[in-house]
């Protein structure tokens, strides 16, 4: 055994000696005058330029194809992996199509209704154009020599691989009993049918009632946000139902746990709220809004250091998120760090000058530091931007009682 090990060591040493001798020979050759004399000979130069030209020609011919192949590969990967909802043209009766209300127009009206609903939710979460696309928005690239669009290739691959991240919405408008009715399907399964018809001259009214049913399947969080404002008890029931329904890796779960935390905070169940928000963060550590909300819950629990730590983590994730700065400023105010609090609110308003919550927090800072006039001005500005901001109205009424305000107005 030892004899074999010794032989292997001798062979290895011999190999290294050969490599070193060749390297020394190469260095001596490069350093010699003959090498450089031969290198600059016209014949050698011509051969070198010829080889370089040949290489450049090969690259110029092949590079466009390599780039095209790379672009196609990227589009295929995105098509198979991105979380998108594609709205196909919605079939319409002939009389609508003849008036210019085509299937493409109907599909666009559905997307507009979805965008309006989500905008009204005013959530930090949003759906980009790539996530909510019309069929016509997809890349129209054709595979050379086959005449097959990449859209068709992606659809076939999804079927083969059972991909589920991209969903397709189809449907039709039908006429019955002199009214229009809408039916929608998601990946071939019917998810919505109009409970009531609409007048023949108002087809746009078909789409808004359909949006919650559609979003419940593709983005349930948005439905939860709207429900939380309209009916918190129904929102809690809906959130729990969706959490139980969705698979463990679903992108919606962290957002739903975030909403659950907010609903529990409203009930002053702070321990459970914190657990829900920590679950959201565990599922998605980059979910900024969950860190912001957990900071608020910790402040409710008088865990000031933990609260400020969560605020700082939110700002690390999104340094230019105005609400994160405003929230941090409010918690610094509660901790008695008024100069730091004001600095954070100033940052928030520099990022978003129309942030009502920023002025609301500024009013609190001025109130707590004895600057009554500045506090009144800040609360008024907050209410100008958001007349429904109850906290600003309550604090303003304390500083300027309604009766006193009326007397001032009468004197003027």
Q: How do residues 232-285 score in pLDDT, each as one tens digit?
A: 999 999 999 999 999 888 889 999 999 999 999 999 999 999 999 999 999 999
What pLDDT score was predicted for residue 75? 55
Evaluate if residue 340 carries a pLDDT over 70.
yes
What stretch of H or E contains 125? Answer: none
Q: How do residues 372-406 score in pLDDT, each as one tens digit?
A: 999 999 999 999 999 999 999 999 999 997 665 55
What pLDDT score was predicted for residue 140? 40
In this structure, of 96-100, 271-275, 317-321, the range with the lowest mean pLDDT score is 96-100
Evaluate if residue 3 carries a pLDDT over 70.
no
What pLDDT score was predicted for residue 249? 84
For every residue of 214-257, DSSP letters joined together read HHHHH-HHHHHHHHHHH-HHHHHHHHHHHHHHS-TT-THHHHHH
118 vs 151: which has the higher pLDDT: 118
What pLDDT score was predicted for residue 247? 86
Evaluate if residue 345 carries a pLDDT over 70.
yes
Evaluate if residue 144 carries a pLDDT over 50.
no
Q: Tokens for 252, please give them.
A: 């919606």
Of 366, 365, 384, whose CA–CA distance to 374 is shortest?
A: 366
In this structure, of 65-79, 129-143, 213-227, 318-332, the range with the lowest mean pLDDT score is 129-143
1 vs 328: which has the higher pLDDT: 328
What pLDDT score was predicted for residue 339? 97
Task: Return the sign of the alpha-carbon dihedral for residues 142, 143, 148, 153.
Answer: negative
Q: How do residues 181-207 score in pLDDT, each as one tens digit?
A: 999 999 889 999 999 999 989 999 999
121 vs 104: which has the higher pLDDT: 104
Mean pLDDT, to the nearest integer, of 318-344?
A: 96
Q: How do residues 146-179 score in pLDDT, each as one tens digit?
A: 444 545 555 555 554 444 457 888 999 999 989 9
Evaluate if residue 225 carries a pLDDT over 50.
yes
In percent, the amount of the chain with pLDDT more than 70 equals: 68
* 276: phi then psi, degrees, rounded to nearest 5: -65, -40
78 secondary structure, DSSP code: H
Give the Cβ contact number of residue 279 at 10 Å: 19
Q: How do residues 294-308 score in pLDDT, each as one tens digit?
A: 999 999 999 999 999
Evaluate if residue 356 carries a pLDDT over 90.
yes
Q: Which residues pair with 190 in a beta bridge?
A: 185
What pLDDT score was predicted for residue 217? 87
User: What mean pLDDT, rounded, does the chain reach?
Assistant: 81
What pLDDT score was predicted for residue 127? 43
Q: Which residues contact 10 (CB under 8 A, 6 or more apart)?
A: none
3 vs 208: which has the higher pLDDT: 208
Of 337, 266, 345, whose CA–CA distance to 305 is shortest?
A: 337
193 secondary structure, DSSP code: E
What pLDDT score was predicted for residue 412? 43
320 vs 22: which has the higher pLDDT: 320
In percent, the amount of the chain with pLDDT more than 90 equals: 53
What stretch of H or E contains 28? Answer: helix 2-31
What pLDDT score was predicted for residue 332? 97
What pLDDT score was predicted for residue 29? 58
Tokens 């109205």 correspond to: 393
Contact 161, 80 (CB under 8 A): yes
What pLDDT score was predicted for residue 338? 97
Split at pLDDT 50, 70, 90, the class of 26 is low
What pLDDT score was predicted for residue 362? 97
What pLDDT score was predicted for residue 135? 52
Q: How do residues 8-21 score in pLDDT, each as one tens digit?
A: 555 555 666 776 67
Instruction: Quote the CA–CA distance of 183 and 8 in Å, as a whole number.
Output: 78
Contact 290, 314 (CB under 8 A): no
Structural domains of the chain, ranges and CATH numbers in brackets: 12-77 (no CATH), 83-214 (no CATH), 216-411 (1.25.40.10)
Q: Which residues pair with 134 in a beta bridge?
A: 87
Query: Whole-angstrom distance between the N-terminal and C-terminal Cα of the chain?
Result: 109
Contact 90, 107 (CB under 8 A): yes
């Amino acid at each position: 055994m030892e004899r074999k090990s010794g032989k292997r060591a001798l062979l290895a040493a011999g190999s290294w000696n050969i490599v070193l001798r060749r390297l020394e020979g190469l260095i001596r050759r490069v350093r010699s005058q003959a090498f450089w004399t031969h290198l600059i000979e016209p014949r050698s130069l011509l051969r070198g330029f010829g080889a370089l030209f040949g290489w450049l020609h090969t690259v110029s011919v092949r590079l466009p194809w390599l780039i095209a192949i790379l672009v196609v590969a990227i589009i295929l990967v995105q098509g198979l992996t991105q979380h998108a909802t594609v709205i196909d043209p919605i079939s319409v009766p002939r009389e609508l199509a003849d008036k210019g209300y085509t299937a493409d127009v109907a599909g666009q009206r559905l997307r507009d209704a979805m965008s309006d609903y989500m905008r009204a939710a005013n959530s930090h979460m949003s759906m980009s154009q790539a996530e909510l696309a019309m069929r016509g928005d997809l890349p129209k690239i054709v595979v050379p020599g086959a005449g097959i669009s990449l859209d068709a290739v992606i659809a076939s691959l999804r079927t083969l691989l059972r991909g589920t991240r991209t969903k397709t919405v189809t449907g039709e408008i039908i006429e019955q009993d002199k009214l229009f009715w809408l039916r929608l399907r998601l990946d071939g399964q019917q998810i919505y049918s109009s409970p009531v018809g609409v007048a023949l001259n108002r087809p746009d009214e078909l789409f808004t009632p359909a949006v919650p049913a559609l979003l419940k399947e593709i983005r349930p969080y948005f439905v939860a946000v709207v429900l939380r404002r309209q009916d918190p008890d129904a929102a809690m029931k809906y959130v729990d139902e969706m959490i139980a329904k969705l698979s463990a890796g679903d992108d919606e779960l962290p957002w739903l746990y975030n909403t659950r935390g907010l609903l529990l905070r409203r009930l002053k169940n702070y321990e459970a709220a914190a657990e829900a928000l920590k679950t959201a963060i565990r599922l998605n550590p980059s979910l900024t809004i969950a860190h912001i909300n957990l900071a608020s819950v910790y402040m409710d629990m008088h865990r000031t250091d933990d609260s400020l730590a969560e605020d700082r983590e939110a700002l690390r994730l999104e340094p230019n998120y105005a609400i994160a700065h405003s929230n941090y400023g409010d918690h610094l105010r509660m901790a008695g760090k008024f100069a730091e609090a004001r600095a954070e609110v100033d940052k928030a308003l520099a990022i978003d000058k129309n942030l009502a919550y920023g002025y609301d927090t500024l009013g609190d800072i001025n109130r707590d530091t004895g600057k009554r006039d500045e506090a009144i001005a800040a609360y008024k500005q907050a209410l100008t931007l958001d007349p429904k901001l109850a906290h600003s109205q309550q604090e303003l009424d304390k500083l300027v009682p309604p009766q006193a305000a009326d007397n001032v107005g009468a004197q003027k």
